[in-house]
Structure 1
Amino acid sequence: MLHTIIIDCFRANLQLQQRRLGHRLRGKAPILCRTIKDRLEELNYKDELYTAKVDIGFPADRRTSVKQEQLEHLKRIKNDKQMEKLARNYQLEIDLQEAKKVWLETLGPYHKKQIADHYSIYEHLYGEGYFVPFINIEVTYDLKNGTCLPVYTGNVIKPSEALEQPEVLFKSDGSSLWTLVLSSLDGHMQDSSKEYAHWIVANIPGNAIEKGDTIVEYIQPLPLKGTGYHRYVFVLYKQNDRILFDIPEVTSPAQLEARTFVTRDWYKKYQDIVTPAGLAFYQTIWDSSVKDFFHDILKQKEPIYEYDFPEPYIRPQEWFPLRKPFNLYMDKYRDPKQVKKEYLVRKLKNEDPFKSPDPPLRFPNAHPLPHSMPSWLKLHEKKIRLGWGRVNDV
């Protein structure tokens, strides 16, 4: 008996909750349905086995002496009365090179990693892998006018500014070996999941790039017209020993197909020998040097990507198109070239290169129109008098 009463009370409670302000609610009762949080977790569920990030780089330097030096430096700054006085009077000068050096030794690598994550660099290079670029690489392009253009983290460099291989500098002892790879993440013309290797130098002793084994010769960036900005990434790998990479050598810039490269597959094959340590990347967009490269070096027509807009939908013609201007309605079903030609002829009919144009009517709508003129033609004449319509945009 008690069990039956509990069930009846539960059903009555459900019926009360299914009505709100006199309206019956659809769906399950609030006490039975899932919360928004549960629903979002179900929709956004990702398997941790495939989404967990893996650090493939070198571990951070956990020396206590570095932190101790920073604390002592802060104490010295706070106790310096003269420095405080200069700061209050806006006269304190800061050594930017020293500030940059401190930044690179402390938070700089982590800031670079955050920017690279923002541009999806690690995702498109290694999938679930990432690394913190503790080795700072300075990449600069010589502009041949006494200035250099550096590569930072995502700055824009035009292809005409990167025609020749850049100068790459990084700190290293003479006994270590390195590999430098420059690849484009968005430039492959056949498969969007692959890259083009624009420059690969292996077995670099110390930081002498010119003494390394050039596997793939350098070529300029090739962002195709109409495809927006492309990302070009420099990655510096530290080698455990001298390596003979199983990559075909590319010595000619015309061998574009031979430059097909997949960083993830390449790293997966040599992950026990190489470790990523340095990172720099930039963005680039089409300019005329890309066209010259295709015509002069590849001897082929430059691919151009444009968005094809769909043809506008035109309803079938009606016997009596009510409340539609006759001339505009009929223009929809005519050849657009013929319509533009008629408007151009009408525009040029009243143009004289040796005479000034006629003065406009002082009161355009005060001049009566014939009563026998149809309404659509009256509207057309009024637009001409007022300077409205397509004929005045030609």
Structure 2
Amino acid sequence: MHSFIFKLTNYNFVNTSKFTIIRRHFALFMEKEQIIPDVVKTKAEHKLEVKYGSHVVNEGNVLTPTQVKNSPVIKWHADDKDLFTLIMTDPDAPSREKPIYREWHHWLVVNIPGNNIKSGDEISQYIGSGPPKGTGLHRYVFLVYKQPGKIDISKLTKLTNKSGDGRGNFKAEKFANEHHLKPLVACNFFQAEWDDYVPEIYRQLGGH
């Protein structure tokens, strides 16, 4: 009996230690890639699981606008009784060197029960990556915050994916503070630069 208890305790300790190491690694990565402080000031509790079909988002890996043109499948640890906010944002608009439009947000969904995004209130419809030609790699950051309660969406402006109006100079941290969102439950990001699909996005947004 004592041996079983020791093994069980040791198993829990090893798993807790492993979780702590993974969390610490990702927190350091957020700082290294300047997600902290360019987008948020606090570390995420978990790494967010984001998949575009067979393409997995993983700590700043490079994907193409073609690969991310449709909204991804996203999962995080959640209780169905809790509500969450999902943000996808680009802090490098129009470029990382001169981010005068920081941030340009690509997706905003609030009042998500658990991690069932489709049951949440979509405030800004999904728009894939569309970095201007010659501006290099942009970071596309996904953030999930826990809400203290339901957000009154009547006070928020809904944005379609047919226009870029109202997307620029967004601040995820400011939005989180205004709505008392905490903690930052999960985060992840990828990078992308211009490819041949980007002009299609601009036509969709009415730019060309």
State whether TM-score is above 0.5.
yes
Matching of residues 1-394 of structure 1 within 5 Å:
68-70=9-11, 103=18, 105-126=19-40, 129-131=41-43, 133-142=44-53, 148-188=54-94, 192=100, 194-245=102-153, 246-251=155-160, 253-260=161-168, 261-270=170-179, 272-294=180-202, 296-301=203-208
Name the CA distance, whole Å, in 1 between partners of 2:162 and 2:132: 16
**After the TM superposition, which segments of 4 or more aligned residues of structure 1 sit over 6 Å from their partners?**
none
Q: Higher helix proportion, which one?
A: 1
- How far 1:106 moved relative to its partner? 2.5
Q: Is the 8 A contact 2:163 2:204 kept in 1?
A: no
- How far 1:273 moved relative to its partner? 4.1
Distance 1:287 1:107, change over 3 A: same
Name the CA distance, whole Å, in 2 between partners of 1:71 and 1:175: 26
Q: Is the 8 A contact 1:187 1:222 kept in 2?
A: no
- How far 1:194 moved relative to its partner? 2.2
Larger Rg: 1 or 2? 1
- SS at 1:159 equivalent: coil
Name the CA distance, whole Å, in 1 between partners of 2:205 and 2:109: 23
- How far 1:256 moved relative to its partner? 0.5
Q: Is the 8 A contact 2:26 2:47 kept in 1?
A: no
The count of aligned residue pairs is 198
Distance 1:273 1:182, change over 3 A: closer
Paired position in structure 1 for 2:3? none
- How far 1:71 moved relative to its partner? 8.3
- SS at 2:174 equivalent: helix
The amino acid of 1:112's aligned partner reads F
The amino acid of 1:228's aligned partner reads G
The amino acid of 1:135's aligned partner reads H
**1:314-361 CA distance string (max 9 Å, x none):** xxxxxxxxxxxxxxxxxxxxxxxxxxxxxxxxxxxxxxxxxxxxxxxx
Name the CA distance, whole Å, in 1 between partners of 2:20 and 2:128: 34
**TM-score using structure 2 length:** 0.85
Q: Higher strand proportion, which one?
A: 2
**TM-score using structure 1 length:** 0.47
Residue segments in structure 1 that go unaligned for 5+ positions in a row: 1-64, 74-98, 143-147, 302-394
Name the CA distance, whole Å, in 2 between partners of 1:205 and 1:232: 24
Q: Is the 8 A contact 2:92 2:99 kept in 1?
A: no
Q: Is the 8 A contact 1:241 1:273 kept in 2?
A: no
| Cα RMSD (Å) | 2.6
- How far 1:70 moved relative to its partner? 5.0
Identical aligned residues as a percent: 28
Q: Is the 8 A contact 2:85 2:109 kept in 1?
A: yes
Q: Which has the higher contact order (CA 8 A, sep 6+)?
A: 2
Distance 1:107 1:139, change over 3 A: same
